[in-house]
Amino acid sequence: MIDLFHTIRLKGNKAVHKPEYGDTDEAKALLHMAFRLSVWFMEVYGDWKFKAPAYQEPSKENLISKAELEEITQLYENKLAQMEEELQRVRSEQLYVNEGYKARRRKRSLRSGSNLQLTEDETRILIYQQLMDAGWEADSKKLRFSKGTRPEKGKNLAIAEWPLKKVLIRLNLNLISRINLKPAFYL
């Protein structure tokens, strides 16, 4: 989950400070990631009976009139006032949360996070962000083998579509578990 927060934050900052940054596909993927992160947050910290609605990709809609905007604004301000009252009530109740309740929430958080199935685009965005954090250049649209990108001395390039003729490493987790050893990522 922390990777989702981190990636959305960094990409959002770039988009705000550099209007020419990014493209529509990346924005849609990040918006979907934010939706999924919100669902996870609600499942873990919100109502136990919460059922997430299906994600709906945003579409262009007609502009609304100033009167309609003011009406909607008033509705949201009223709702905000109700929510602030509810927040005060919940905060006063949470001063006395027992340890069993905290343990159940922690367990649900771990279970919900492990069930998160990212799309290929979302996974690529997360991996590229981690590569960039580690000092690599990563952009599958520009740095592609098919576009002539090749390794350069002194540069860390994540080159997409690199052709492989054989599997370089095969990790057999079943074999590892049969001999009672754990791979390094369990340590």
pLDDT one-digit tens code per residue, 98-144: 778 778 888 887 776 666 778 888 888 888 889 889 998 888 888 88
State the pLDDT confidence band at 178, using cuts at 50, 70 and 90: very low
Neighbours of 44 (CB within 10 A): 19
Amino acid letter for position 128: Y
Q: Looking at the whole model, is its pTM more than 0.85?
A: no
pLDDT one-digit tens code per residue, 34-86: 998 898 888 888 877 888 889 888 777 667 788 888 999 999 999 999 999 99
Select the more confidently predicted residue: 93 or 17.
17
* Per-residue confidence (pLDDT) for residue 85, from 0 to 100: 94
Q: Where are the alpha helices (DSSP H) in 95-168?
A: 99-114, 120-133
With tokens 């990631």, the residue in question is 33
Cα dihedral 72/53/8/84 (nearest 10): 50
Contacts 24+ apart (CB under 8 A), 133-141: none
Buried-exposed string 92-126: b where 16+ CB fall within 10 A, e elsewhere: eeeeeeeeeeeeeeeeebeebeeeeebeebbebbb
